[in-house]
């Protein structure tokens, strides 16, 4: 059987998705037997864009250089996979959209103790996109999407295996709660709490304990490591399917409805807290046009209110 040629491109991202792929460990060997990798920036000194059966793009569109590279990937790849929440939704750098480009450059190059120049460079750097961060599907057609920050190796292996066999990855649409194992139950808790303000109960849902957890509004592409290990979910794998597909659903309303039914905490208090910490909870998908049509368009106003 002839091998499937695969080309990788790394746009504006953090390399975590590449590390996630290496985390396949010995399962990677099974996949590699069927692949001929023709381009992989962190491993191969290939500057061009060879023709490939499958193109895999990580990272978001942040610069004009990213846009050019993405088009070259699309032109040279028969099928294109957007890999990781940056490529699918814009990822955590979307949180920078709460600021203007000049504010971002000032913070990075001028008001930064570790920057040598203290000036915004005008040469030698790709120009930032005027409209802010964007997911790759805002620029080219994408055949397959695999969110996650990074996706868990379990899902990476399934996706690569299906694509190598010439099929399409088929995943369930479960949210993080499906894998969490904590028990949702009614409680008398009357106010929101942070982790340091309670003695946590290991097998009870964080929402029941008065702690914000985004698991019920987040797609499972991670196998729920955080709530299983004592940390609430912040939603890094990207929103659950019904949040994406339902025009009137939003992270705030979803979590606030659920939490106010399970506890004595008023719905309005949950909404206000999620807005206050919007840079954390909305970061991963904020750059997606889908979310800009939701109440997320008020993000800058929430941030102006002093959120983190
Ligand atoms: S999706 Fe997450 S791990 Fe992958 S490049 Fe973006 S920030 Fe890094
Ligand atoms: S809301 Fe969080 S803690 Fe509760 S079941 Fe879902 S993932 Fe687990
Ligand atoms: S924050 Fe949530 S979505 Fe991200 S890895 Fe943890 S459990 Fe998964």
Q: Please write the tens of the pLDDT for every residue from 171-187.
A: 889 999 999 999 999 99
For residue 175, give the 3-state DSSP assignment: strand
Cα→Cα distances 121→112, 118, 128, Å: 14, 9, 12
Structure tokens belonging to residue 293: 């049509």
The predicted model gives 236-264 an average pLDDT of 90
Least confident residue range of 19-28, 53-62, 65-74, 293-302: 293-302
Structure tokens belonging to residue 7: 């080309």
User: Is residue 227 within 6 Å of ligand 2 at its C-beta?
Assistant: yes
Structure tokens belonging to residue 261: 């039914």
Q: Whose CA is nearest to atom 2 of ligand 1?
A: 149
Q: Residue 126, class by beta-carbon neighbours within 10 Å (0-12 exposed, 13-18 middle, 19+ buried)?
A: middle
User: Is residue 218 within 6 Å of ligand 3 at its C-beta?
Assistant: yes
Ligand 3 centroid – CA 235 distance (Å): 5
Least confident residue range of 25-29, 57-61, 148-152, 275-279: 25-29
The owner of tokens 């000032």 is: 106
Ligand 2 centroid – CA 242 distance (Å): 17
Instruction: State pTM to two decimals.
Output: 0.92
> Which ligand neighbours the alpha carbon of 258 most closely?
2
pLDDT tens digits for 125-163?
Answer: 899 999 889 999 999 999 999 999 999 999 998 998 898
User: Is residue 259 within 6 Å of ligand 3 at its C-beta?
Assistant: no
Ligand 3 centroid – CA 238 distance (Å): 9
The confidence score (pLDDT) of residue 131 equals 87
For residue 99, give the 3-state DSSP assignment: coil
The confidence score (pLDDT) of residue 61 equals 97
Judged against a pLDDT cut of 80, whether residue 30 lies above it is answered with no
DSSP assignment of 199-227 equals ---TTB-TTTTT----GGGBB-SS--HHH
Distance CA 243, CA 94 (A): 18
Pocket test for ligand 3, best of 20, 236, 284, 285 (most atoms within 8 A of CB): 236
The confidence score (pLDDT) of residue 1 equals 65
Judge whether 38 and 85 are in contact, CB under 8 Å: no
Judge whether 75 and 5 are in contact, CB under 8 Å: no
The confidence score (pLDDT) of residue 69 equals 97
User: Is residue 146 within 6 Å of ligand 2 at its C-beta?
Assistant: no
The confidence score (pLDDT) of residue 257 equals 95
Judged against a pLDDT cut of 90, whether residue 59 lies above it is answered with yes
Total Cβ atoms within 10 A of residue 113 = 5
The confidence score (pLDDT) of residue 307 equals 54
pLDDT tens digits for 200-247?
Answer: 999 999 999 999 999 999 999 999 999 999 999 999 999 998 888 887
User: Is residue 12 within 6 Å of ligand 1 at its C-beta?
Assistant: no
Q: Which atom of ligand 2 is nearest to the CA of 183?
A: 5
Catalogue all structural domains in the chain, each as residue range(s) with its CATH number.
4-94+129-164 (3.40.50.700), 177-304 (no CATH)
The confidence score (pLDDT) of residue 305 equals 62
The confidence score (pLDDT) of residue 187 equals 97
Judged against a pLDDT cut of 70, whether residue 308 lies above it is answered with no
Q: Which atom of ligand 3 is nearest to the CA of 225?
A: 7
Contacts of 75 (CB under 8 A, 6+ apart): 49
The predicted model gives 162-168 an average pLDDT of 86
Cα→Cα distances 70→51, 81, 208, 236, Å: 14, 11, 44, 23
Q: Which atom of ligand 1 is nearest to the CA of 59?
A: 5
> Which ligand neighbours the alpha carbon of 233 most closely?
3
User: Is residue 17 within 6 Å of ligand 2 at its C-beta?
Assistant: no
């Amino acid at each position: 059987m002839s091998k499937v040629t695969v080309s990788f491109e790394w746009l504006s991202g953090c390399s975590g998705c590449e590390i996630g792929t290496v985390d396949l460990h010995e399962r990677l060997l099974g996949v590699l037997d069927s692949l001929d990798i023709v381009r992989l920036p962190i491993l191969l000194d290939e500057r061009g864009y060879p023709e490939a059966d499958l193109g895999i793009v990580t990272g978001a569109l942040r610069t004009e250089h990213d846009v050019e590279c993405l088009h070259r990937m699309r032109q040279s790849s028969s099928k294109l996979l957007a890999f990781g929440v940056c490529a699918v939704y814009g990822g955590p750098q979307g949180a920078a959209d709460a600021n203007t480009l000049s504010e971002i450059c000032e913070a990075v190059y001028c008001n930064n103790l570790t920057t040598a120049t203290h000036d915004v460079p005008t040469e030698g750097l790709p120009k930032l996109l005027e409209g802010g961060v964007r997911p790759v599907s805002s620029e080219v057609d994408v055949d397959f999407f695999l969110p996650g920050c990074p996706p868990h190796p379990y899902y990476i292996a399934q996706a690569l295996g299906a694509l190598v066999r010439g099929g399409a990855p088929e995943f369930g649409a479960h949210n993080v709660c499906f894998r969490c194992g904590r028990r949702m139950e009614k409680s008398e808790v009357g106010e929101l709490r942070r982790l340091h303000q309670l003695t946590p109960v290991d097998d009870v849902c964080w929402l029941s304990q008065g702690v914000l957890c985004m698991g019920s509004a987040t797609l499972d592409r991670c196998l729920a490591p955080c709530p299983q290990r004592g940390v609430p979910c912040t939603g890094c794998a990207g929103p659950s399917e019904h949040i994406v597909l339902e025009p009137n659903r939003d992270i705030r309303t979803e979590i606030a409805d659920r939490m106010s039914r399970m506890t004595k905490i008023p719905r309005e208090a949950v909404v206000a807290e999620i807005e206050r910490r919007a840079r954390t909870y909305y970061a991963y998908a904020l750059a997606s046009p889908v979310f800009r049509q939701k109440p997320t368009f008020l993000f800058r106003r929430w941030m102006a209110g002093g959120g983190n």
